[in-house]
Structure 1
Amino acid sequence: MAIRISTQMMYDRNVSQLSNLHGNMLRTQMQLSTDRRVLTPADDPVSSARALEVTQSYELNEQYVLNRQSASASLVQVDSTLETVNDILDNALVEVVRAGNPGQSQSDRDAIAVALEGHLADLLSQANTADGSGGYLFSGYKTNTQPFALTADGADYYGDQGRRELQVGSGRQMAISATGSEIFLENPTGNRTFQTGADPANTGTGVISPGTIVGTTQPINYEINFTKDATTGAVEFSVTNTDDGSQVMPPTAFKSGEPIVFGGMSFDITGAPANGDKFTIEPSRNQSVFTTIRDVVKALRNPGSGPTAGAELTNALNRANQNLQNARDNVLSVRASVGARENELETLDSSASALRIQYSDQITNLIGLTTEGQIEAVSRFQQQTTSLTAAQQTFRSATQLSLFNYI
């Protein structure tokens, strides 16, 4: 039975064939231009789903990179500010040591007090450092609140104890700042375990040392009381536990500079304490560095004169020297913590670089064109181009098959 092929059918079949060939060629061309084997999930559902998971991990890794850049910028600013604070404290210590020179006149001490007030202003400026984004670096979570304001006795802190953090890794949140309280307020006094002091009412020339730890000690308050025999001139001291009133050391002959040891502590008192003079031993406590500088400025401007005033000034300078050293050590400790976090960020960045390459390779293997795939796609594109060209020429020739062409 003869099959009749109409002109319309011939056109429809050829147009459909050309359309299919052209679509296949365009798909191959898109694979080459995007460097992807899988253009839609329908091409390879399993690989597409897996590639989506890997892509999400890749983008998350890139976000961690951005977070670490922000964290690093903040930590660098904190470290730079703390370096300046350390320099200020070093300069203040130099002034305190200079003030201890017995040859200084009152006008010299007044000049040193002015210099220390300048260091105090510089210290406040660093404590109120802006973070570059409209907030303050050391105010904790209260970024829009200026953390410190000077007072007659030191400075008040208006920030909080919060430490701003950023997610810098899949399982790592990192503090990107430090609070003003841990830098400027939480500075231990004395030798970090206990602090020595002289009663302001003393009339002798006794000077007590900061002391050291020589055994197990407990946070207890002690008082060292001096008595002087009016007849013989012999000076004795006794030690009392002021927490419970018990006597720790009975009356003992005093020798200037000889170590006094009890309760795991050792210290000495030099000079000539007078009858009724008292010295104290207290547990170390936290003190603002602003208070430390304020106290030493007041001591330097004390108009007292004579041996007793000199001993009082020496005790004040010794106390300030020890407390400023503690404040500087505290700043160095915070800087060490900041430096450790900066090193950790560098390690995390190195790991992120390796992950970036790993994720990229996985995505390429799942939906991308490998080297072999590119070669195959180029060959296929050339074949499809040739097939389309041949089909177009065949269709053109077929449409010209008419008896009218031969009349």
Structure 2
Amino acid sequence: MRISTVTMFDQSVASMNRQQSDFLKVGQQIASGRRVVNPSDDPQAASRAVGVSQAKAVTQQFADARVSARNSLAQAESVLNSTADAITSAKTLLVQAASDTLSDVDRQSVASELRGIYETLIGQANATDGNGRYLFGGYQDNSPPFARTSGDGISGVNYVGDENTREQRIDASRLMPVADNGKTIFQSVPSGAGYVARAERESPGETSIGTQQGFVRNEGSVAFTSGPNRVDPNAEHFGKPFELEFSTDTDGNPLFSVSVVEADGTRTPIVADESYESGKAVVFGGVSITLEGAPADGDQIQLRPANDANANQDLFKSLKDAIDLLELDQEGTPENRAHFRNTINTVMRELDNSLDNVLTVRASMGARLNELDVVDAVAGNRMMNYDKTLSDLVDLDYAKAIADYSLRQVGLQAAQKAFVDVKSMSLFNFL
């Protein structure tokens, strides 16, 4: 069989090109550190690597979301820490103001300090996260969540944000609340909060502080000095609103009756015309309250669970009530002193409930921050698994690659030498 010179040259060049291609491919693998440089190198591994890379990118997006969620929660938790300190300071001032040794001027000085705390709390409630979003406004960011309203004494505050809780997906199966709405924090109480007693008066042409509880009359000097306290949560009617009403017998001795206020407003008597004794604890429906002073005929005191829809749960209203009261002139009459003491005691109980609620929400935020740490740890392990899987699929075994590199280099050199030897095989070289 005759082999032409062209055929020998073509075969030699093709062999050198093949050897050079293999040699350059190994060099490219060594330079990039990857075994699969092109999908054609290993289609199955390349396909699996694409899926792993996508899962890794999604995990990284969740990691970025957790950073944002952690920043929001940390800022909100810091604000609630300041809020708790402010409420504690307000409670301390009210304890000071309750002293009978203070004059009207002293009480007005305390009211001035309370006003500063009141303004501070409004500022904290309208705090932003630094990006123009209000921490406690739900999803409403176009205006502060707490707006001032006109009123007697100092302006009141209304919540105008929405009642949604802003959430963020921190993992494929976890949608985490990253900020509680202001109504939950500043206008709510814990579900386990106790009772709050109200005994306000209405002056002609003036609306009482407790109008949302209904008309409550207290023209006498009766005041509650202790309670209301829970003594038997299993008692009948426990957890319902109660109403105490005072009357007198034929000899003018004070009596009291207790009724349960039903949801539809009807009153069911549970205690009828019991003798009233100043300073003696009164127990009914699993609740105890100690009263002292002389009630007037027809005086009423209402006791409601702190989380009742008609009870005051508004931190700002509690402070406003206290400031308005402290700025009034005290005439020193027993009736005024009883009114002052009742309101101060009520506000202090409401502040206690508000503080408990703030601390409860803050604890919840702390738990969510801890959860973020746990999810970060799990996601970190997941990312390590993804990296290892990708490494097994596409990364280069340098020892094997270097050996292949040397082998391809020898093959290329052999192909070049063979071409040189074949090219020199000619009869003309022997003439």
**TM-score strictly above 0.5:** yes
SS of residue matched to 1:303: coil
**Structure 1: how far apart are the matches of 2:178 and 2:190?**
24
Give the letter for the 2:412 counterpart: L
The match for 1:101 is: 99
**Structure 2: how far apart are the matches of 1:236 and 1:182?**
40
Contact persistence 2:12–2:418 (CA under 8 A): no
Contact persistence 1:188–1:287 (CA under 8 A): no
Matched, 1:168 2:194: no
User: Aligned ranges for residues 215-294 of structure 1 at < 5 Å?
Assistant: 215=233, 216=235, 217-218=237-238, 220-228=240-248, 234-241=253-260, 243-284=265-306, 285=311, 287-294=313-320
CA drift of 1:286 comes to 5.0
Matched, 1:68 2:84: no
Contact persistence 1:37–1:368 (CA under 8 A): yes
The match for 1:344 is: 371
User: Aligned ranges for residues 387-398 of structure 1 at < 5 Å?
Assistant: 387-396=411-420
**Structure 2: how far apart are the matches of 1:154 and 1:186?**
17
Matched, 1:51 2:49: yes
Give the letter for the 1:226 counterpart: F
String of CA shifts for 1:352-385, please: whole Å, max 9, x gaps: 121111111122222323xxx3211110101112
**Structure 2: how far apart are the matches of 1:286 and 1:172?**
35
Choose which of 177, 181, 185 in structure 1 pairs with 2:179.
177
Give the letter for the 2:187 counterpart: L
Q: Which runs of 5+ in 1 are unaligned?
A: none
Q: Which runs of 5+ in 2 are unaligned?
A: 202-216
Shift in alpha-carbon separation, 1:361–1:269, aligned structure 2, 3 A? same
The match for 2:17 is: 19
Give the letter for the 2:382 counterpart: L
Matched, 1:33 2:60: no
What is the total number of aligned residue pairs between the two structures?
400
SS of residue matched to 1:166: strand
Give the letter for the 1:340 counterpart: A
CA drift of 1:260 comes to 1.1
**Structure 2: how far apart are the matches of 1:162 and 1:244?**
34
The match for 2:211 is: none
For normalisation by structure 1, the TM-score amounts to 0.90
The match for 2:145 is: 147
Choose which of 275, 286, 300 in structure 1 pairs with 2:326.
300
Choose which of 198, 203, 219 in structure 1 pairs with 2:219.
203
**Structure 1: how far apart are the matches of 2:267 and 2:347?**
29
Give the letter for the 2:246 counterpart: F
The match for 1:383 is: 407
Give the letter for the 2:89 counterpart: N
Contact persistence 2:16–2:415 (CA under 8 A): yes
Contact persistence 2:223–2:291 (CA under 8 A): yes
CA drift of 1:293 comes to 0.6
CA drift of 1:218 comes to 4.7
**Structure 2: how far apart are the matches of 1:110 and 1:211?**
28
SS of residue matched to 2:298: coil
CA drift of 1:166 comes to 1.6
CA drift of 1:223 comes to 3.0
Contact persistence 1:113–1:297 (CA under 8 A): yes
String of CA shifts for 1:197-239, please: whole Å, max 9, x gaps: 2141533221124412223335544332223468x55322222
**Structure 2: how far apart are the matches of 1:160 and 1:327?**
20
User: Aligned ranges for residues 183-194 of structure 1 at < 5 Å?
Assistant: 183-187=185-189, 192-194=193-195
Contact persistence 2:77–2:362 (CA under 8 A): yes
Identical aligned residues as a percent: 33
SS of residue matched to 1:195: strand
SS of residue matched to 2:344: helix
CA RMSD of aligned residues (A): 2.5
String of CA shifts for 1:105-147, please: whole Å, max 9, x gaps: 0011111111111111110111111111122111111123311
CA drift of 1:276 comes to 3.5
Give the letter for the 1:113 counterpart: A
The match for 1:212 is: 229
SS of residue matched to 2:179: coil
CA drift of 1:406 comes to 9.1
The match for 1:325 is: 352
